[in-house]
Amino acid sequence: MALSFNERKKILKSINTLDLTPIKLYSEVADQDDLVTVIVPKFKNKIVVKLISPKLKSDHFKIKLDKFGSAVWSKINGKTRVDQIIKDLKKKFGDDILEEHERTTKFIFQLYEQGFISFKEIN
């Protein structure tokens, strides 16, 4: 049974953000520069998809991520915790990334709030 919003919120408040394990909910494509575009369906209801999607040019949105967002997205695999993602980003970007803990956790929670990812701990 799926957890309610309040149950998920309670779990997220009790867990250290760095111990969370993000899981992708959508697919992506990467270009030659390793910049990621997340593919998000416009509709989730199967009936709406059947009726409306054939009339549209595209039945999905394309969300383009910058180099930082692409690096974070590519590290999300359902096994890697947030603390390891931050360490990997620090290795990759070095001094080009400032306040990596705050920036990464904020971006990950934006992905969560938009419904692009979930966390292994609340599924």
Between 13 and 49, the higher pLDDT residue: 13
pLDDT category at 121 given cuts 50, 70, 90 is confident
The arrangement of strands across the sheet holding 60-64 comes to 27-30, 36-41, 60-64
Maximal CA-CA distance, the chain: 50
The string of pLDDT tens digits covering residues 20-33 is: 999 999 999 999 99
pLDDT above 90 (res 9): no
User: What is the distance between the alpha carbons of residues 22 and 78, in angstroms, rounded to a whole number?
Assistant: 6
- Residues 48-94: tens digit of each pLDDT: 666 666 666 777 889 999 999 999 999 999 999 999 999 999 998 88
> Domain coordinates of the chain in residue numbers?
5-122
- CA dihedral in degrees (116, 89, 75, 102; nearest 10)? -30
Q: Where are the beta strands (DSSP E) in the chain?
A: 22-24, 27-30, 36-41, 60-64, 117-119
